[in-house]
Amino acid sequence: MKIFTAKQIRSWDQFTISYEPVSSIQLMERASMAVAHWISEHCKNHKKLAVFCGKGNNGGDGLAVARILYLKGFDVDVFVGDPKGKFSEDASVNLKRLRDMSGISVRKFDQSGHYNFDDKTIIIDALFGTGLSRPLDGEYKMLVEQLNAKKSIKISIDIPSGLSADEIFDQDAVILNADYTLTLQCWKRTFLHPETGKYTGKVEVLDIDLSKAYSENTETAYFVTDDDLIESIFKPRNEFSHKGSFGKAAIIGGSYGKIGAAVLATKSALKTGAGLTFTLAPECGYEILQASCPEAMFIKGGEEFITNFEIDNEFTIGIGPGLGTHPNTGKSFLSFLKNYTKPMILDADALNIISKDPNNLKLIPKESIITPHPKEFERLFGSTEDSFKRLELAGEKAKELDIYIILKDHHTQVITPQGKMFYNITGNSGLAKGGSGDILTGILTSLSAQGYSQEETCILGVWLHGKAADFAAERYSKEAMLPTDVINEFGNVFEELNRKVERIL
């Protein structure tokens, strides 16, 4: 799914109005019907609504939603700044339609202080939409602060009021803390970054049938990894294939006390379909690896830590899990990088060794995949003000070094050398445990060995990692799930994927 800026979304609306054709008020009604339908389907135990509407088109949506839900049997009260003030043209139409109905009271914002917000009341936020270009102030700032103090469930239409679609306002900006955001047609970038995404609650994308031609023909650098994209990438297994059809994967990692990381990466590579899997690790991990991963073959790379990185060019290699940063390991690894030209997957201590000297970045083979978390990224490339700036810097470095960067976060981002940025929306906080990154390294190494392109490997690998984590959280809870539980859910993810792809075929 493409992510568009607020400006592009406005153009999308206008394009739809011009070429469908449909009037702007009809398009507003279409959007409002979608929002009202979602609320009526999901809020059956809450029949009392307090709808707060601004003067623009987002307020017009709220006024239309209030009318539709009243007709569906909800008890609705509407709050506006000044009922006699100047509203947008379409909002004015919906305000008149509302006034022509009996049973809905239209009150001023200042009357909300005496309103009974009981535990069955839902607050609907329709104050400001994606057109907001500066932080809230004055009456609206005070109102949002008051609403944030209420314990009622809060639902924002399109975007939480006070939040920009494309950028971070200053740190002290007042933004409505929504429990749900019913966003129209596509994700907004601010929903996907930690500084701003915390205000959205659960995001539901509602299709309001905006022009597909506009979406297909309008360029953007930003994407959300959705099911359609994954299904277009995934390659079901040919029944006449053999182990040689799915490549050779080699995990290079482990050191005394950190063999578990190599085990997790190896198990992950095995479970995600590599034809042959090898583990290059120190001798101290031999028995552990052979006992825990009997399907993988062992290559000795040292005694208590790896000092020998020699490996055949026919392997796809993933380096880093549990590698350690012993001086001899670092020296041997950097020497290996100087003479190895095939793309590889680099994670954890491999990145930590590289980060000790900025010149080491030039040793990373072209089209390699690196998987830093924010701190590792900072050590590699320097600090940034916020996650938006970090992503911008990642884009510059991916192009400069001709590498793929998987920037791990709540919504992990895949950054390509061509300037594309994919936000992943699978996964959960249960992955915030040691070992989760090792699993991702195993997945990426396996998929790359099987012949997926670098871009496909990154997108599918990150999605698969998160999807398995969602299954594990459902089964064990986010608190109790372990990285090994995630590995054990890979089969269920592949089973679901195959079912979907078979239906398409």
Last residue of a domain, one of 162, 185, 220: 220
Q: What is the pTM of this model?
A: 0.95
CB 223 within 8 A of CB 422: yes
- Chain mean pLDDT for the chain: 96
Domain CATH for 312 = 3.40.1190.20
Q: Is 136 among the domain residues?
A: yes
- Amino acid identity for residue 272 in this structure: T
Per-residue pLDDT, 33: 98
Task: Mark whether 32 and 109 lie in a shared domain.
Answer: yes
Q: Where are the beta strands (DSSP E) in 69-164?
A: 75-80, 105-108, 121-126, 153-157
Contact 239, 266 (CB under 8 A): no
CATH code: domain of residue 144: 3.40.50.10260
Q: How confident is the model at residue 84 (pLDDT cuts 50, 70, 90)?
A: confident
If asked whether residues 213 and 180 sit together in one domain, one would say: yes
- Judged by phi (left if over 0) then psi (alpha if -120 to 50, else beta), residue 435 lies in left
Q: What pLDDT does 360 receive?
A: 98
The structural domain count of the chain equals 2
User: Judging by DSSP bridges, how do beta strands 248-252 and 276-281 pair with one another?
Assistant: parallel
In a domain, 1, yes or no: no
What pLDDT, in 10s, does the model give residues 297-341? 999 999 999 999 999 999 999 999 999 999 999 999 999 999 999
Does 226 map to a domain?
Answer: no
464 and 403 assigned to the same domain: yes
Q: For residue 225, tell me if it sits in a domain.
A: no
Backbone angles phi, psi at 415, to 5 degrees: -115, 125
Rounded to whole angstroms, the Cα distance separating 54 from 4 reads 23
Q: Say yes or no: 171 and 245 in one domain.
A: no
Tokens 């810097």, residue located = 393
* pLDDT over threshold 60, residue 505: no
pLDDT computed for residue 171 by the predictor: 81
C-alpha 316: how far from chain center: 27
Q: Is residue 280 located within the same domain as residue 335? A: yes
Q: Mean per-residue pLDDT for 377-386? A: 97
d(CA 139, CA 40): 30
Q: Tally Cβ neighbours within 10 Å of residue 124.
A: 27
Asked if residue 202 and residue 252 are part of one domain, the reply reads: no
Residue 434 lies in a domain: yes
- C-alpha to C-alpha distance for 487 and 465, rounded to whole angstroms: 9
| Model confidence band, residue 47 (pLDDT cutoffs 50, 70, 90) | confident
Inform me whether the pLDDT recorded for 354 exceeds 80. Answer: yes
What are the phi and psi torsion angles at 410 (to 5°)? -60, -45
Contact 158, 130 (CB under 8 A): yes
- pLDDT tens profile 417-429: 999 999 999 999 9
pLDDT score for 242: 87
Give the position of tokens 């944030």.
Answer: 148
pLDDT at residue 85, as a whole number? 82
Q: Is the residue at 63 inside a domain? A: yes
Return the closest-CA partner of residue 425 out of 157, 235, 209, 189. 189
In a domain, 213, yes or no: yes
Does 246 share its domain with 194?
A: no
Answer for the pair 140, 113: CB distance below 8 angstroms, yes or no: no
User: Domain range spanning residue 72?
Assistant: 6-220
CA 440/CA 3 separation, integer angstroms: 25
Please write the tens of the pLDDT for every residue from 184-207: 999 999 999 999 999 999 999 999
What's the pLDDT at 172? 87
**Would the pLDDT of 504 be above 60?**
no
292 and 387 in a single domain? The answer is yes
Output the CA torsion sign for 474, 479, 485, 490.
positive
Is 36 part of any domain?
yes
pLDDT at 503: 65
Q: What single-letter DSSP state applies at residue 186?
A: S
Do the beta carbons of residue 34 and residue 207 sit within 8 Å? yes
How confident is the model over 159-185, as pLDDT tens digits? 999 999 999 998 889 999 999 999 999
User: Same domain for 254 and 139?
Assistant: no
Query: Do residue 101 and residue 147 come from a single domain?
Result: yes
Q: Is 82 exposed, middle or buried (0-12, 13-18, 19+ CB in 10 A)?
A: exposed
pLDDT at 70 over 90: yes
Q: Which among 220, 242, 260 is the end of a domain?
A: 220
Q: Are residues 240 and 207 in the same domain?
A: no
* 237 plus 211 within the same structural domain: no
Q: What is the pLDDT of residues 126-143, one digit of tens each?
A: 999 999 999 999 999 999
**Position of tokens 């020296």?**
331
Final residue of a structural domain among 166, 195, 220 = 220
